């Protein structure tokens, strides 16, 4: 098939969503498909809306996949006459993120208009599918295709993970995600201000350039609260150095205000890391409360601090959760299976179009 993938910016952008897109492109090409990348420039939301005045979908494709992130640019283009189906790859809706209600109401109107303009969906989780179904119904073809979780290969040995859990203080924490407010680093840092300084160490790993103002604010918070010897900002790391940090950690804490899936939690579980996420979004599809980690409410620094203190003091509990995390990682479908399901879905949509 001749397939197009429409995104903002570069396919090499460091995020879970772009990792999904990259892996999908790699696998489709490996199976013999031609995949053309159509990249629109990153700008603000209003500028993206202005794309509707001039942007047209490319010709001569068998099928076009659009990252739903691009929705504001595509309202008019999708409504114009075309000869191929358009599939929306939905990681999560913008209207699902935490912000004032009136803003999300406006975003929801735009997203609803966009979602009604496509011919089918690829969802990264059941949660994402449920959100979209509640907004536009369930009458279009769709597939749930969970993100790839195997970029680091096989999980760590259970015996090694069990021994690591019993190591002495400090409890080694890792936060993995671009430094943007939605990822919840502010909640984690607030929780850590209530713990004894010598009882924890936190590695913050993720781009400092996604939102430089927010990243600077977080670094200043650490300095102001005298935590510079306990918390280290690494910026973005390549896979080899990231794997080293994950292997050295005890717990992954990313208390995001919303995750459409949360690939980071599963990747951490491959290293035997119990995960702490929030009840907003799909984290609960991955994390089982009290078994593979903990689910807290968004912004609940008090509850987060209590869990971290418990794991620091109760290494038997930490060991149990760590071993359960390895088991959960092993249950996740492999990317090759997932992508095969995507391709079968795309082939069916193409054959039934028109």
The pLDDT, as a whole number, for residue 292 is: 97
The pLDDT, as a whole number, for residue 319 is: 97
Return the residue matching tokens 């088991």.
327
Are 253 and 236 part of one and the same domain?
yes
What's the number of domains the chain is made of? 2
Are 346 and 320 part of one and the same domain?
no
Are 196 and 250 part of one and the same domain?
yes
Mean pLDDT of 311-318: 96
Are 36 and 11 part of one and the same domain?
yes
Are 112 and 260 part of one and the same domain?
no
Residue 135: other Cβ atoms inside 10 A: 15
Q: pLDDT confidence of 321, banded at 50, 70, 90?
A: very high
Mean pLDDT of 98-120: 91
pLDDT at 104 > cutoff 80: yes
Q: pLDDT confidence of 20, banded at 50, 70, 90?
A: confident
pLDDT at 16 > cutoff 80: no
Please state, for a pLDDT cut of 90, what percent of the chain lies above it. Answer: 77
**Strand, helix or coil at 234?**
strand
pLDDT at 168 > cutoff 80: no
Domain extent at residue 249: 158-331
Are 270 and 195 part of one and the same domain?
yes
Residue 193 lies in a domain: yes
pLDDT at 339 > cutoff 80: yes
Q: Give the span between the Cα atoms of 291 and 214, in whole angstroms.
A: 33
The predicted model scores a pTM of 0.83
Are 318 and 176 part of one and the same domain?
yes
Q: pLDDT confidence of 87, banded at 50, 70, 90?
A: very high
CA distances from 200 to 113, 229, 242, 269 (A): 47, 10, 19, 20
Are 310 and 240 part of one and the same domain?
yes
Mean pLDDT of 83-90: 96
Q: pLDDT confidence of 131, banded at 50, 70, 90?
A: very high
Q: What angle do CA 102, 124, 237 make, to 5 degrees?
A: 95
Q: pLDDT confidence of 332, banded at 50, 70, 90?
A: confident
Residue 162 lies in a domain: yes
Q: pLDDT confidence of 230, banded at 50, 70, 90?
A: very high
Are 239 and 283 part of one and the same domain?
yes
Q: pLDDT confidence of 266, banded at 50, 70, 90?
A: very high
The pLDDT, as a whole number, for residue 335 is: 80
The pLDDT, as a whole number, for residue 153 is: 82
Residue 113 lies in a domain: yes
Mean pLDDT of 137-158: 88
- Read off the pLDDT of residues 47-75 as tens digits, 9 standing for 90 and up: 999 999 999 999 999 999 999 999 999 99
**In the numeric block, which tokens belong to residue 152?**
């680091």
The pLDDT, as a whole number, for residue 225 is: 96
Range name among 23-32, 129-138, 181-190 with the lowest pLDDT average: 23-32
Maximum pairwise Cα distance, the chain: 65
Are 22 and 144 part of one and the same domain?
yes
Do 210 and 181 touch, CB atoms closer than 8 A?
Answer: no
The size of the chain, in residues, is: 354
C-alpha closest to that of 64 among 118, 134, 135, 140: 118
Q: Give the span between the Cα atoms of 184 and 176, in whole angstroms.
A: 11
b/e burial code for range 78-90 (CB count within 10 A of at least 16 → b): beeebebbbbbbb
Do 221 and 189 touch, CB atoms closer than 8 A?
Answer: yes
Range name among 86-90, 191-195, 256-260, 286-290 with the lowest pLDDT average: 256-260
**In the numeric block, which tokens belong to residue 308?**
């971290």
Do 338 and 145 touch, CB atoms closer than 8 A?
Answer: yes
Mean pLDDT of 251-269: 92
Are 172 and 290 part of one and the same domain?
yes
pLDDT at 268 > cutoff 80: yes
pLDDT at 327 > cutoff 90: yes
Q: Which residue did the predictor score with more confidence, 153 or 269?
A: 269
Residue 73 lies in a domain: yes
Q: pLDDT confidence of 146, banded at 50, 70, 90?
A: confident
H-assigned helices in the chain: 16-30, 45-50, 101-115, 126-136, 158-165, 185-192, 212-224, 239-248, 263-269, 301-313, 315-331, 335-352
* Residue 133 belongs to domain with CATH number: 3.40.50.2000
- How far from chain centre, in Å, is Cα 104? 20
Q: What angle do CA 337, 343, 347 make, to 5 degrees?
A: 145
- Partners of 200 in the β-ladder: 171
Residue 153 lies in a domain: no
Are 83 and 140 part of one and the same domain?
yes
Q: pLDDT confidence of 29, banded at 50, 70, 90?
A: very high
pLDDT at 147 > cutoff 90: no
Do 90 and 121 touch, CB atoms closer than 8 A?
Answer: yes
């Amino acid at each position: 098939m001749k397939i197009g993938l429409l995104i903002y910016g570069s396919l090499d952008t460091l995020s879970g969503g772009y990792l999904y897109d990259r892996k999908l492109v790699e696998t489709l090409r490996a199976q013999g498909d031609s995949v053309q990348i159509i990249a629109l420039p990153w700008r603000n939301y209003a500028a993206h809306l202005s794309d509707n005045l001039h942007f047209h979908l490319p010709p001569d494709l068998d099928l076009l996949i659009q990252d739903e992130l691009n929705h504001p640019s595509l309202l008019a283009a999708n409504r114009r006459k075309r000869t191929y189906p358009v599939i929306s790859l939905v990681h999560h809706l913008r209207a699902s993120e935490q912000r004032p209600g009136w803003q999300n109401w406006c975003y929801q109107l735009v997203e609803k208009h966009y979602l009604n303009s496509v011919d089918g969906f690829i969802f990264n989780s059941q949660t994402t599918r449920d959100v979209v179904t509640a907004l536009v119904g369930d009458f279009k073809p769709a597939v749930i295709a969970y993100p790839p979780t195997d970029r680091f290969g096989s999980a760590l040995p259970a015996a090694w993970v069990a021994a690591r859990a019993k190591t002495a203080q400090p409890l080694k924490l890792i936060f993995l995600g671009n430094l943007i407010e939605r990822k919840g680093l502010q909640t984690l840092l607030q929780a850590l201000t209530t713990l004894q300084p010598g009882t924890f160490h936190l590695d913050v790993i993720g781009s400092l350039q996604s939102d430089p103002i927010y990243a600077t604010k977080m670094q200043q918070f650490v300095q102001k609260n005298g935590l510079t010897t306990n918390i280290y900002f690494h910026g973005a790391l390549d896979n080899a150095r990231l794997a080293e940090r994950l292997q050295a950690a005890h717990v992954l804490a990313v208390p995001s205000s919303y995750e459409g899936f949360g690939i980071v939690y599963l990747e951490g579980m491959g290293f035997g890391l119990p995960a702490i996420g929030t009840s907003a979004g799909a984290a609960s599809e991955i994390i089982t409360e009290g078994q593979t980690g903990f689910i807290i409410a968004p912004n609940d620094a008090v509850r987060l601090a209590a869990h971290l203190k418990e794991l620091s003091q109760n290494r038997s509990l930490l060991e149990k959760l760590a071993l359960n995390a390895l088991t959960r990682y092993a249950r996740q479908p492999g990317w090759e299976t997932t992508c095969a399901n995507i391709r079968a879905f795309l082939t069916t949509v193409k054959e039934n179009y028109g």
